[in-house]
């Protein structure tokens, strides 16, 4: 670790000879493998980018020259080189830095990024501002082939190409998205790789970019040469480099999908694998359906692993599974088209990424009443990064006319909703997949499919809890504690639907209840509870809306969130007592 | 009108000889010119598509074969040919059909569409469903060169190309978007036109599409030949046809931008031009700012005319104006990049189209606290099409953390907000441009820039009105009527901000008010008022939330909306009286 140990600044890097850089790359790669093994993280993408990142910082002058990393899940080497080395070499500091670029950490990070396909657009803005100010710096966007499938990347390319000034797009082609790439464009990338960039039919040249191909995307000397050549260019330029995802870890080079992100070594995968999860419940259900019905089709916007669609599922599903790339807009419109022509599409997607398709949910899907099913995974408060908060989908989707949004509290209910959604032909249905499997041990709900009605689970008086989805169980706990502390025997309701009000049930509550408490595993702003507050606005009913705050939580521990947002039985009971005293 | 008069069905069309079709086209073109002159509508796009639409229906067999029109603002000839002729030839029926495809009108319309870039994705869904069901029909997407700049179109192309089965994309290249095209891709389309499709570097071929070029996009015999050739193809196919936008109307052929959409002949343009509007107020303000500050930059996602950026403005602004194409996602990220690098970007966009960039507003802009300004035009209840409702932006934007959302009620306030937004450097600001210019004749607000505080305009008691933006004036009217009918002297508040609560003011109201009425020119679901209802949920304060319902209003007259949603002073006062009786 000779080079890495002595490296304290970008100036130190620039003092090295090009010939010394491969040794530094080796040391960084070893550090990354060690660190990621210990803490988990994006393995494959970071290992593939070690050489290119060193070469970028060797040739360009950050922060004057500006780098924008797409998704920024490949920025570890960049962090090491820009003053954050100890976060990757010293176990005591492994938790100091996020896994994404973050301007609060360093002036070398331009944006906080975690979603796909944004880098070229952001960089185009930086470049245009430079031009307006009369500046001269280089603007470099670093984007992988997987990210290229997102529409925002395309919109960015189209406009970057029209800039008439310096912008450099480093296209990192490792022949992989998170899972395998799909889509016609990838045939062109393959052709370009095969012809070492000489093929006339060239996706990038069709936009008018200057184009350079680098076969040795993990060869620092090749990279330094081409970067020096394009530095201070006056034209929009694409450098297409071919890298090896997972380079340096044999299994990750071979199994690129599982090598994309790894769990910490200490993580007990066997326990994880054994526990029943909505991942396996969903894929098992879908496979059974598919066997009986060739029109059932599962769609993934390039995140099959995150939604339980393991390679074995995909193999069995065959043409009844489609990965559309990181293209959520297309995914929703595609689902609408499928439903309109008589198929039964199920889109499985992550809450935070569904944000990329708000308009398609409204126009392509809801306005057309296309009976597609959307399963929302990871829609909950979480201790993760600010870029991946799963608390906004309730307000995003429940305020769109025509979407039927359901939140099951238990496994049996989930399966009943899923089955109902697939078999009905009149409305698009969103189902918020709960985070932990709870079985109610009852199949009563399997025959009860009027999900527009709330279910009164425990009938009491004075106080009524409306516990949505995951938080139904919190409502139950709060009810028990309230009984214990005050003697009040509260009503507990599983509302199940969060896009519409069951007015009949709500009106009935007025007779013998004075307080309604809503609980939702998402931001209260614009969410389910506020609709209840509006409904009771002209009455004597008091309403307490509990859920997440309208903030980006950045790796905030769950305990802190539960306390801050009053989401423990104790704090809920306190709030109720205060409300009774007013 | 011999041919058109005798045409009652698609069967009638198919009985004609190819040689007779140009005469039919001429008749349809005359009918369209007559109809659009009388009622207004999309002139240029429809005139350009007459021949191609006739040829499509002549060769393919709708509704078995399925057409998906992008935006569908070019579907008039399609409607004429599919049983809706009288809507375009008989003045008594001019109002019978919408200007877009609508499955409720005809089995020949697959989707209700009004936004851009969706056709290829929707068609890919139809095609995949056909394949799952073992069907054989042709699926045809019709998309213009302007629409091609949207990311969803690109995502669709990428996946359509990977279908391995029949899908035909008719690419209507008329060398124009709504305004001029911009972006690198258009150079390739130009190259393809110049080389009659023979250039090796071919955007479409880079995805793997079969590709055909038709120079005579207004020549029916050429079109019939190529359609017959690709009919029943087993491969994803692009037909690139070159058409003349506005064909048949000399001025519209020359001035394609103004010919894109025309107002009815009876529409008094001179009065319109003379009245002060936020369009001219905005562009005048921006030009003045630009003169003093070279970093001020206006961005349009291809809708400059809709937001007051007339050709003269664009000429004067020079490089301080950028049209990014119909690419809202890019527009927001681009603005974020500009702001991050020290420029002062102002994105001028239409409420309904801003829906296409929810995630970028959150991730690229708000999460990064980039001080860009977004001006929302047409954010209001309207009698327009369901595809263009302007009532959802409040719930979409106000629930995103970090966006400061402002709604001015008057001209002076608007300008003060705009100026403040441009000069501050810490937050992204959304300003909802009012629909009608009202001057408060006061510059008091010009120095008062703490927009986080509500302004109490008239201090009363018992009832308080919070009238947001446009609806501040409705609040004033309701207050006056309430006084007259009940003697209650209500408080009137201009809240100005709808992304945050002024808790101090709200708490103070509790002292001498029992009812708060919120009024907003948008959907109440997830909107401003519900936040007020949540705030007062644990108190005795009654809250009435008034605004639009969570429905798609489809050409619903304003009177009907005002009555249905209780948005007249009379109905508001009735609601208040009822609330007091409970």
State how far the Cα of B464 lies from the Cα of B459, in Å rounded to an integer.
Answer: 9
Q: Which of B421, B447, B473 is the last residue of a domain?
A: B447
B526/A524 touch (CB, cutoff 8 Å), yes or no: no
Are A244 and A321 contained in the same domain? no
Are A167 and A31 contained in the same domain? yes
Mutation choice for A interface testing from B116, B132, B355, B544 by most A CBs within 10 A:
B132
Are A233 and A375 contained in the same domain? no
CB B35 within 8 Å of CB B94:
yes
Residue B72: its chain A contacts at CB < 8 A?
Answer: none
Are A363 and A503 contained in the same domain? no
A129/B208 touch (CB, cutoff 8 Å), yes or no: no
Residue A133: its chain B contacts at CB < 8 A?
Answer: 294-295, 341-343
A183/B161 touch (CB, cutoff 8 Å), yes or no: yes
A454: which DSSP letter? -
Q: What's residue B272's pLDDT?
A: 57
Residue A132: its chain B contacts at CB < 8 A?
Answer: 294-295, 297, 319-320, 338, 343
Are A22 and A147 contained in the same domain? yes
Q: Which residue of B has its CA nearest to A130?
A: B341
- pLDDT per residue over A545-571, tens digit each? 999 999 999 999 999 999 999 999 999
Cα separations in angstroms, B258 against A229, B34, B73, B249:
45, 17, 15, 12
A133/B542 touch (CB, cutoff 8 Å), yes or no: no
State how far the Cα of A196 lies from the Cα of A92, in Å rounded to an integer.
Answer: 44
State how far the Cα of B475 lies from the Cα of B569, in Å rounded to an integer.
Answer: 8
Residue A575: its chain B contacts at CB < 8 A?
Answer: 538
Q: Which tokens in the block code for residue B35? A: 């109809």
Does residue A129 belong to any structural domain of this protein? yes
A–B CB contacts, 8 A cutoff, strictly below: 420
B476 — phi, psi (to 5°)? -60, -45
State how far the Cα of B521 lies from the Cα of B543, in Å rounded to an integer.
Answer: 17
CA distance B93 to chain A (A): 25
Q: In terms of pTM, does the model score above 0.90?
A: yes
Are B22 and B59 contained in the same domain? yes
Q: What is the DSSP string of B29-54?
A: HHHHHHHHHHH-B-HHHHHHTHHHHH
- pLDDT per residue over B130-156, tens digit each? 999 999 999 999 999 999 999 999 999
Does residue A339 belong to any structural domain of this protein? yes
A124/B334 touch (CB, cutoff 8 Å), yes or no: yes
A334/B386 touch (CB, cutoff 8 Å), yes or no: no
Q: What is the mean pLDDT of residues A73-89?
A: 97
B207/A187 touch (CB, cutoff 8 Å), yes or no: yes
Are A382 and A245 contained in the same domain? no
B150/A149 touch (CB, cutoff 8 Å), yes or no: no
A537/B545 touch (CB, cutoff 8 Å), yes or no: yes
Q: Which tokens in the block code for residue B274? A: 């003379």
Does residue B267 belong to any structural domain of this protein? no
For residue A4, give the 3-state DSSP assignment.
helix
Banded model confidence at residue A121, pLDDT cuts 50, 70, 90: very high
Residue B330: its chain A contacts at CB < 8 A?
Answer: 121, 124, 152, 155-156, 158-159
CA distance B53 to chain A (A): 22
Does residue B268 belong to any structural domain of this protein? no
Q: Which tokens in the block code for residue A91? A: 């176990």
Q: Which of B260, B286, B309 is the last residue of a domain?
A: B260
| H-run or E-run covering B142 | strand B139-144
Q: What's residue B265's pLDDT?
A: 76
Are B486 and B429 contained in the same domain? no
CA distance A200 to chain B (A): 6
Are B292 and B417 contained in the same domain? yes
Of the two residues B498 and A175, the one the predictor is more confident about is B498
Q: What is the DSSP string of A73-85?
A: TT-HHHHHHTT-T
At A460, which CATH number? Answer: 3.40.50.920
- pLDDT per residue over A301-352, tens digit each? 999 999 999 999 999 999 999 999 999 999 999 999 999 999 999 999 999 9
Residue B428: its chain A contacts at CB < 8 A?
Answer: none
Beta bridge partners of B515: B463, B542
Does residue A267 belong to any structural domain of this protein? no
Are B252 and B308 contained in the same domain? no
In this complex, the residue of A155, A400, A526 whose CB is nearest that of residue B399 is A526
Q: What's residue B260's pLDDT?
A: 83
At B425, which CATH number? Answer: 3.40.50.970
Q: Which of B447, B471, B495 is the last residue of a domain?
A: B447
B582/A538 touch (CB, cutoff 8 Å), yes or no: yes
Q: Which residue of A has its CA nearest to B522?
A: A399
Cα separations in angstroms, B299 against A294, B293, B423:
47, 16, 17
Q: What is the mean pLDDT of residues A187-191?
A: 95
- pLDDT of A230 > 70? The answer is yes
Show the domain range for A422: 273-447
State how far the Cα of A163 lies from the Cα of A151, in Å rounded to an integer.
Answer: 19
- pLDDT per residue over A8-19, tens digit each? 999 999 999 999
A537/B538 touch (CB, cutoff 8 Å), yes or no: no
Residue B295: its chain A contacts at CB < 8 A?
Answer: 129, 132-133
B327/A155 touch (CB, cutoff 8 Å), yes or no: yes
CA distance B235 to chain A (A): 12
Angle CA B15–B21–B22, to nearest 5: 170
A341/B66 touch (CB, cutoff 8 Å), yes or no: yes
Are B415 and B522 contained in the same domain? no
CA distance B5 to chain A (A): 33
* ipTM for this prediction: 0.94
- Adjacency order of strands within the sheet including A373-377: A321-323, A296-300, A344-350, A373-377, A429-432, A404-406
User: What parts of chain B have a pLDDT lower than 50?
Assistant: 446
Give me the percent of chain A exceeding a pLDDT of 70. 97
Does residue B428 belong to any structural domain of this protein? yes
Cα separations in angstroms, B144 against B120, B177, B195:
11, 8, 19
Are A205 and A230 contained in the same domain? yes
Q: What's residue A270's pLDDT?
A: 67
A340/B162 touch (CB, cutoff 8 Å), yes or no: no
Does residue A266 belong to any structural domain of this protein? no
What value does the mean pLDDT of chain A take? Answer: 94
B151/A401 touch (CB, cutoff 8 Å), yes or no: no
Q: What's residue B267's pLDDT?
A: 64
- Number of separate domains in chain A: 3
Does residue B37 belong to any structural domain of this protein? yes
E-strand ranges in A354-458 read 373-377, 404-406, 429-432, 455-458
In this complex, the residue of A295, A337, A578 whose CB is nearest that of residue B124 is A337
Q: Which tokens in the block code for residue A523? A: 């931001």
């Amino acid at each position: 670790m000779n080079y890495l140990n002595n490296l304290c600044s970008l100036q130190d890097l620039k003092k090295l000879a090009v010939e010394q850089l491969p040794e530094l790359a080796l040391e960084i790669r070893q550090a990354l493998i060690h660190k990621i093994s210990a803490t988990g993280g994006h393995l494959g993408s970071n290992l593939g980018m070690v050489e290119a990142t060193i070469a970028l910082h060797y040739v360009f002058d950050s922060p004057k020259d500006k780098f924008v990393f797409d998704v920024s899940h490949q920025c570890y080497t960049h962090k090491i080189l820009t003053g954050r080395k100890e976060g990757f070499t010293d176990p005591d500091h492994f938790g100091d830095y996020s896994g994404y670029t973050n301007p609060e950490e360093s002036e070398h990070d331009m944006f906080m990024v975690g979603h796909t396909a944004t880098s070229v657009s952001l960089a185009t803005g930086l470049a245009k501002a430079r031009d307006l100010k009369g500046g001269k710096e280089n603007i470099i966007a670093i984007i992988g082939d997987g990210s290229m499938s997102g529409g925002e990347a395309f919109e960015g390319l189209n406009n970057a190409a029209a800039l008439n000034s310096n912008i450099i797009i480093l296209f990192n082609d490792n022949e992989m998205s998170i899972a395998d790439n799909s889509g016609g464009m990838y045939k062109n990338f393959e052709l370009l790789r095969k012809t070492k960039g000489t093929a006339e039919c060239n996706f990038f040249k069709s936009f008018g970019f200057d184009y350079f191909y680098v076969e040795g995307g993990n060869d620092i000397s090749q990279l330094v040469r081409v970067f020096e050549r394009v530095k201070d260019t006056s034209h929009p330029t694409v450098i297409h480099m071919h890298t090896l995802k997972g380079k340096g870890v044999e299994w990750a080079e071979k199994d690129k999908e599982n090598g994309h992100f790894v769990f910490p070594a200490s993580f007990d995968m066997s326990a994880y694998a054994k526990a029943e999860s909505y991942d396996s419940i969903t894929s098992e259900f879908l496979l059974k359906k598919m066997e009986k019905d060739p029109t059932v089709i599962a769609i993934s916007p390039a995140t099959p692993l995150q939604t339980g669609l393991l390679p074995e599922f995909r193999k069995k599903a065959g043409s009844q599974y489609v990965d559309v790339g990181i293209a959520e807009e297309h995914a929703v419109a595609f689902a609408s088209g499928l439903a309109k022509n008589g198929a039964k599409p199920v889109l499985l997607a992550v809450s935070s990424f569904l944000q990329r398709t708000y308009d398609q949910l409204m126009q392509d899907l809801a306005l057309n009443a296309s009976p597609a099913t959307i399963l929302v995974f990871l829609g909950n408060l979480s201790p993760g990064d600010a870029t991946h908060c799963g608390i906004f989908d309730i307000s995003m989707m429940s305020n769109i006319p025509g979407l039927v949004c359901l939140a099951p509290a238990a496994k049996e209910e989930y399966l009943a909703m899923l089955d109902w959604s697939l078999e009905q032909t009149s409305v698009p249905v969103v189902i918020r997949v709960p985070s932990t499997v709870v079985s109610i041990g009852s199949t009563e709900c399997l025959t009860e499919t009027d999900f527009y009605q709330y279910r009164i689970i425990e009938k009491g008086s004075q106080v009524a809890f409306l516990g949505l989805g995951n938080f139904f169980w919190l409502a139950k706990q709060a009810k028990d504690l309230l009984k214990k502390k005050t003697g009040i025997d509260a009503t507990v309701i599983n509302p199940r639907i969060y896009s519409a009000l069951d007015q009949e049930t709500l009106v009935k509550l007025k007779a013998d209840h004075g307080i309604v408490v809503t609980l939702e595993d998402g931001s209260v702003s614009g969410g389910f509870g506020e609709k209840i507050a509006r409904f009771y606005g002209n009455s004597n009913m008091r309403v307490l809306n509990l859920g997440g705050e309208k903030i980006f939580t950045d790796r905030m521990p769950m305990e802190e969130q539960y306390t801050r947002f009053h989401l423990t039985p104790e704090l809920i009971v306190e709030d109720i007592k205060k409300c009774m005293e007013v």
